[in-house]
Amino acid sequence: MKNIKPKQDQPEELRPRNPQRADIIPTEGFALVVDGKLKADFDDEEAARAAGVELLAKFPRLRVEVYNAETGVRTRVEVAG
């Protein structure tokens, strides 16, 4: 099997992008933490909390938290009701 590598003469916008690493703790904004693993970044806490509530509605056994990068505090998300 032949290894395929991106050509160096390709324009930058056509090269594959490296995905954001999930093991790097964000330094700003808020992150959604699912079962102890960072999953998504958000600009504000309400958006992160809404995503967590939506995820818990589908999968209630998960442990979902919102991580505040500024304070370093994790807050557990719970579904009301």
Give per-residue pLDDT as tens, 5-63.
555 554 555 544 444 566 778 889 999 999 999 998 999 999 999 999 999 999 999 99
Q: What are 6's strand-pairing partners? A: none
pTM, entire model: 0.71
Strand partners, 41: 31
Q: 76 Cβ partners below 8 Å, 6+ apart?
A: 63, 64, 65
Residues in the chain: 81
Identify the residue whose tokens are 């056994």: 61
What's the rounded Cα separation, in Å, for the pair 20 and 10? 22
Domain map (residue ranges) of the chain: 25-66
> What's the CA gap between 33 and 76, in Å, rounded?
9
